[in-house]
Structure 1
Amino acid sequence: MARLVTLVALSLVAVPGIANAQDKASCYDAAAPLTVEEQRLDDTLAPGGPAVGPELTKRAGFDDDVERFTQKLCRTFVKRQAQQTAEQAGADLWRTAVKRAQGKEQTHDVFDDRPLYWARLQMTKALRQWQPRFALDGQERAKLVQGLDWASRGIGDINFPNKKAKRIVLTGFDPFQLNGPTVRRSNPAGAAALQLDGREIDTPEGKVVVQAAVLPVLWGGFDEGIVEQFYGSAVKAKPQGFVTVSQGRPGRFDIERWAARWRGGFPDNNDLRSFGTVPNAAGWPQPATEFIETTLPFQKMIDAKTTPYPVAFNLSFCEWPVGTTPGVGPRSCRTDQPTPGAVAAVGGGGDYLSNESMYRANRVRIGMQANNVVGGHLHTPVLGQPTDPAALTDAAFELERRNIANQVVALVSAV
């Protein structure tokens, strides 16, 4: 009889009021370690001011999503339901962010990509600090975090219902370089992805449908195969194009010619560095090649004369000369063709995660023999910051982000 009562109690996961049996004080351990990204949730722009991340989450109305998730975790008493709870919360957050970005809500700029980023971090923080009534080891907790994280980025959300439309698969990126006063940074590539996910665009050559996701600025996330998971899974939908998008150089768009198989070691959003050859992602066919050349219709994209920024085709790349030790000594940088046998050092998109997103997406495309799919990388202009160092936003900042994101849409239409 006692065992029956216990089983009945454990089944009452979603009943209102059960959370009172385990209030937040006992449900979460505030001393549990967090990532560097999650620790920035406390950062402010001025002493006594609001924490940037939670404030942006609140302005966009995502604080309710975070609160519902943290309450639901405290009502989750069965281990097998935890993964579903995490993934469902992530998927709901992604759909909410896309709907908001493409809607008419005016309380906060719909082109702002930052609320999704900070709401996600509040949810992963909750998962790291959650103290369930059942045993949960480190590997199981990491799986919960990844499940929520990937779902909240649109990684498993590829769907092309209009079979007659041309299909484009695209990724943007999270904000990055967020230490100190730059914690308020936005990334127009992420804003463009939110504008484009599921969107049907009319072009002179017919309708185009885009499925988009937002990638992390984390070496570890790339090591886990997030790029291959998104683009490799997309191959089954028989798209016409892969486009990776990130923030690049001031004042112009660049279509990058070359992606390089090399990491330059710049710190990621967890202040971690990685230097050397781009590693493989387990479970995906990935041919070993030092450089991958774009197959995007770059001239067509340039000739589309999108505005307000100029669009260039960037030919540059760097290699470690044949016979030298990669990573040591000077690089050879040129604009012609890579030397056979040379090790890649820098792609047109650099040697950071922008370059690596192009490399990984197109490496898996080639490995899966998706030869009819064009692929390449688009770098956006650098987005500035609000003039007032204590302000989260201003009109000029919002207009610049909107102009960049809208031009990404126009360039994707030209693909």
Structure 2
Amino acid sequence: MQPTGLRLAAAAIVVAPALGLSAPAQAAGPTADCLGEEGATVEEARLDGEVPQEILRRSQLADTAAEFTRELCAATDLDEARTVVERHADALWRSAVERVQSPDEPDGANGGNRDRGGKDGEQLSAGDDRPLYWARLGMTSALNRWQPDFSLDAADRAGLVAETDRRSRGQADADFPEEYGSSDVKRVVVTGFDPFQLDNDVRQANPSGAAALALDGAVIETADGVVVVEAMLFPVRWRDFTDGTVERALVPHHAGERPADAVITVSQGRDGQFDLEQHNGAWRGGFDDNENEGTEEIAPIPDGVPTVTPQPQWSDSTLDAEAVIDATDGSPFPVIHNTGVTEIPEGETEPVFRPDGPTPGSEARAGGGGDYLSNEIAYRNTLLRDATEGDIPAGHVHTPILHLATGDAVTDPQFEADRTAVVDQVRAIVTAAARP
């Protein structure tokens, strides 16, 4: 994710069974007597706009926040509130995954990315990642504005918001089923991101999020064996990364009893191509996140997690770039092995670009993936691999940018077709990286 905006002939995709969504409902705002007017974050405040409301109206997640709020208002103590949060946040993730993988859609087993129509009132295509994003914000906004009848301190409220965020992103649902514990099965974690740069165009989607939703629970059968995927999403917010959201979610897959066989982070990058980022830097450039916040600094590592000391300036990908590029030859988008970085060479003060990677003793100023949150999640992931002495493929994939047509429409045929192509190619890249 920059701050700018394979085919496997022998592979067959088997997706987990659907969970039985109800029919689409009309959007209902989370208005209730227990909600105040104040408390929403900068990110949540965008939810009142026409575009977010249209996206929710045209999705199967339209009533999510209203139903959540009704039960939240009925909670009589913190324990009841926690139960409401856990149930609804888990259900939101499951519903969003099912929606993207809907068997009722043409090619549903491949992500359900085909268009359902373009006019307001018609349903958005199943593969759209944006309904989950806006539905989640409706839930966290309700929590931040909630005025319960019992005493609720700031720490407890923040804990409820954090749990909603974690569970509705699939981070609590990423355990691999026991039947896929065989050494012949490759177990792969794939991550994606929320839409971002919404003040530039609130219609923004993120193909990495769409790919994660399409791949969660996928069982991919190849000529070389089975690949099983668990996926999760991350916010475009510096504060969450500072607080250790990446490490909390990924440490079990690097250091657990049965670590994953590959951990691949994905985000949206630049026009017309995929990038496999080789070198990840410790520097965050401070570009505004989804809360319009940002600070230039070295990425802080949270206490209590495996790490390397002293903190290194660089941590590298172990994805087999050559195998991925060979396996995806002939795909819609070229796949580029990006080895460039920006560094301050040892003993110097000005940053320079190095096309072949960092030099010894240099200070990071941008990894191959830049100095935004995509570079940072790549750095944190590969640093965890190094700290746990893992010998697995771990690295970052940048997708092409998705563009919407000029005007006000929240979707269009080219946007839908491009997202389908990107998601299909992410699946191929993940498969090739897991079984090079």
TM-score, scaled to structure 2: 0.84
Structure 1 contact 255–298 (Cα < 8 Å) conserved: yes
Shift of residue 125, structure 1, vs aligned partner: 0.3
Distance in 2 of aligned mates of 1:352 and 1:130: 33
Structure 1 contact 306–407 (Cα < 8 Å) conserved: no
Shift of residue 306, structure 1, vs aligned partner: 5.2
Shift of residue 367, structure 1, vs aligned partner: 1.4
1:20 — aligned with what? none
Distance in 2 of aligned mates of 1:226 and 1:114: 21
Structure 1 contact 306–411 (Cα < 8 Å) conserved: no
1:338 partnered with 2:358: yes
2:303 — aligned with what? 282
Structure 1 contact 54–119 (Cα < 8 Å) conserved: no
Helix, strand or coil: the match of 1:63?
A: coil
2:427 — aligned with what? 409
1:146 partnered with 2:162: yes
Shift of residue 35, structure 1, vs aligned partner: 1.1
1:303 partnered with 2:326: yes
Distance in 2 of aligned mates of 1:229 and 1:79: 23
1:393 partnered with 2:417: no
Distance in 2 of aligned mates of 1:105 and 1:274: 45
1:202 partnered with 2:221: yes
2:239 — aligned with what? 220
2:380 — aligned with what? 360
Distance in 2 of aligned mates of 1:336 and 1:253: 18
Match of 1:373 among 375, 379, 392: 392
Helix, strand or coil: the match of 1:198?
A: coil
Distance in 2 of aligned mates of 1:83 and 1:100: 25
Shift of residue 330, structure 1, vs aligned partner: 2.6
Helix, strand or coil: the match of 2:63?
A: helix
2:339 — aligned with what? 315
Shift of residue 175, structure 1, vs aligned partner: 0.3
Helix, strand or coil: the match of 1:26?
A: coil
Q: Select the structure that is richer in helix.
A: 1
Structure 1 contact 88–148 (Cα < 8 Å) conserved: no
Helix, strand or coil: the match of 1:154?
A: coil
Distance in 1 of aligned mates of 2:167 and 2:98: 15
Unaligned runs of 5+ in 2: 1-29, 106-122
1:266 — aligned with what? 287
1:291 — aligned with what? 314
Helix, strand or coil: the match of 1:179?
A: coil
Q: What amino acid sits opposite 1:383 in the alignment?
A: L
Distance in 1 of aligned mates of 2:396 and 2:155: 34
1:63 partnered with 2:62: yes
1:27 — aligned with what? 34
Distance in 2 of aligned mates of 1:170 and 1:282: 24
Distance in 1 of aligned mates of 2:127 and 2:233: 14
Percent identity (aligned): 43
TM-score, scaled to structure 1: 0.88
Q: What amino acid sits opposite 1:224 in the alignment?
A: D
Shift of residue 372, structure 1, vs aligned partner: 2.4
Q: What amino acid sits opposite 1:260 in the alignment?
A: G
Distance in 2 of aligned mates of 1:24 and 1:409: 40
1:39 — aligned with what? 45
Kindly name which structure, 1 or 2, has the bigger radius of gyration based on alpha carbons: 1
1:5-24 to 2 correspondences below 5 Å = none
Helix, strand or coil: the match of 1:88?
A: helix
Distance in 1 of aligned mates of 2:343 and 2:224: 39
User: What do residues 347-405 of structure 1 show as CA deviations (whole Å, max 9, x unaligned)?
Assistant: 00000000001001111222122x222100000011111x2411011111111111111
2:117 — aligned with what? none
Distance in 1 of aligned mates of 2:83 and 2:384: 28
Distance in 1 of aligned mates of 2:135 and 2:104: 18
Shift of residue 146, structure 1, vs aligned partner: 0.4
Shift of residue 156, structure 1, vs aligned partner: 1.4
Structure 1 contact 258–293 (Cα < 8 Å) conserved: yes
Match of 1:160 among 169, 176, 191: 176
Shift of residue 337, structure 1, vs aligned partner: 4.1
Shift of residue 119, structure 1, vs aligned partner: 0.2
Structure 2 contact 188–229 (Cα < 8 Å) conserved: yes
User: What do residues 39-92 of structure 1 show as CA deviations (whole Å, max 9, x unaligned)?
Assistant: 11122xxxxxxx221221231111222221010001101112212321221111
Q: What amino acid sits opposite 1:300 in the alignment?
A: A
Distance in 2 of aligned mates of 1:306 and 1:296: 20
2:127 — aligned with what? 111
Distance in 2 of aligned mates of 1:206 and 1:278: 38
Distance in 2 of aligned mates of 1:24 and 1:375: 44
Distance in 1 of aligned mates of 2:239 and 2:129: 22
Shift of residue 25, structure 1, vs aligned partner: 4.8
